[in-house]
A and B are shown apart, each in its own frame.
Chain A
């Protein structure tokens, strides 16, 4: 049943995020192309200004995509679970775990995809900008290509230098933190919408309130746990003996990942309980 739920969930949601990504990519190309236009030296202030506007729009699109995806999924979750659509959702022969998991997995998936889309749009922007700025003679382009291939060759060597000792662990900590962060971010949205339903009569207001409450609590907890750890690590940090900067960073990120995972799981079980035991469709 979880598989079927995921299939239908996926079928219902893919269009809106894909549209957002499409807009993001168009913005990236347009922003990059401004550099090939002869507008920057224009006498009339309007032309360079509109170039700046395009760059700013790309910047806002970058932020807007993940915010947009979050809001879209929050609204969909709310409508699908707690409005008239809920009359069908909650009379399917599925468990509350299956129902909730299908929502959480789909939203996590799209959050990760939107992260990838942001990276692709940045590469696209960089590439278009680069092509716009380089002189049209081919030798320069060849030099750049050579430079990048040398860099790629040198990278493994660089990776092993003593100054970067522990970089593998650091990278792993970043990946783990991003994954758990995606999970806790998703659960914060889903958990706050679910919690908001307990405020009968002001369900949407309740959801927004719950969101900020969860965010605040999470930040306080993270700060309280991270600060002492960071201080301790910095005190024992000894650059000349063996430690790289990752000596401080890596454990901090892992602790943050553990906190995110704990918060995410806590919100998951709370939401599941509320759906199973406290459902009140109007």
Chain B
């Protein structure tokens, strides 16, 4: 089976009848860096949370490696949410121990190397770190796993350009060719150079899935400009 993630007729209706995903169908291949692009409220985060088993689908299913989200898939999927999920009184090194214990694909030496590169003290307690540093620690944890699927929800929103470059470099240098990275964002111009494919979603539906080189070649414009055209108000 070649597809890593299969989304089948997936529908999510929140309380108050808000339709977040509308019978979505999507296949995500292996070994690609894929941008999940759409305006705010288009359903990006809802889709990601369903793939990670943090929400209950109203209708339809998700399969990762042929399995529904559960303990098995969580062992292969490395997920960076838009929230910071730490217990504040933990130390950075305790977090490393925590990840080492639960994820067999976690590489602590890789995490330590990246922390050292950024000058983050392992003895620091997480609650004493700035918001930006916490986000970097979280990204380092997520990228230090040798997962089959990385899901990064808005990894570059709200960080300064230098940090943005560091994050993109971290993603590129830790990525291995058998893994897929799914990056959701609305800041396309910053990441389009690292993407293989893009998925445009709007109102809970996939409206386009194509390789970025195809878009540039056929439309003669950047994915960012094309995105603006497609989603023009």
Contacts and interface: CB of A to CB of B under 8 A. Distances in A.
Instruction: Please tell me whether chains A and B touch each other in their complex, using a CB distance cut-off of 8 A.
Output: yes
Interface of A: 1, 4, 7-8, 11-12, 80, 84-95, 200-201, 277-281
Given A84-B83, A87-B85, A201-B15, A8 B101 contact: yes
A112 to B, nearest CB: 24
B55 A281 contact: yes
Given A279-B56, A281-B55, A93 B86 contact: no
Contact of A279 (B15, B55, B86, B103): B55
Given A91-B77, A93-B103, A280-B55, 8 more contacts: A84-B83, A84-B84, A84-B85, A87-B83, A91-B53, A93-B71, A94-B102, A277-B56
Nearest to A8: B98
Interface string B45-61: 00001001111100000
Given A4-B102, A280-B56, A94 B71 contact: yes
B23 interface: no
B72 A93 contact: yes
A271 B54 CA distance: 16
Contact of B74 (A93, A200, A278, A280): A93
Nearest to A93: B75
A90 B75 contact: no
B38 interface: no
B200 interface: no
B79 interface: yes
B138 to A, nearest CB: 9
A91 B52 contact: yes
A200 B13 CA distance: 13
A85 B87 contact: yes
Nearest to B52: A91
19 contacts: A7-B101, A8-B98, A80-B87, A84-B85, A85-B85, A86-B54, A87-B85, A88-B86, A90-B52, A91-B52, A91-B53, A91-B79, A92-B74, A200-B15, A279-B53, A279-B54, A280-B55, A281-B54, A281-B55
A86 B52 CA distance: 12
Nearest to A281: B54
B182 to A, nearest CB: 14
Interface in B177-221: none
Interface in B61-96: 70-72, 74-75, 77, 79, 81, 83-87, 90, 94
Contacts of A277: 56
B45 to A, nearest CB: 11
Given A4-B101, A93-B74, A201-B15, A12 B87 contact: yes
A60 B49 CA distance: 45
A276 B159 CA distance: 35
B56 A278 contact: yes
**In the complex, the 3 A-B pairs of residues with the closest C-beta atoms, listed nearest first:** A93-B75, A87-B85, A88-B85
A91 B54 contact: yes
A92 B54 contact: no
Contacts of B79: 87, 91
Residue among A80, A88, A89 with the highest chain B CB neighbour number at 10 A: A88
Nearest to A4: B101
Contact of A87 (B54, B71, B72): B54
B125 to A, nearest CB: 13
Interface in B143-166: none
Contacts of B87: 12, 80, 85
Residue among A4, A8, A88, A91 with the highest chain B CB neighbour number at 10 A: A91
A80 B94 CA distance: 16
A90 B50 CA distance: 12
A4 B103 CA distance: 11
A4 B100 CA distance: 11
A260 to B, nearest CB: 31
Contacts of A200: 15
Contacts of A90: 52-54
A263 to B, nearest CB: 26
Contacts of B53: 90-91, 279
A274 to B, nearest CB: 10
B175 to A, nearest CB: 20
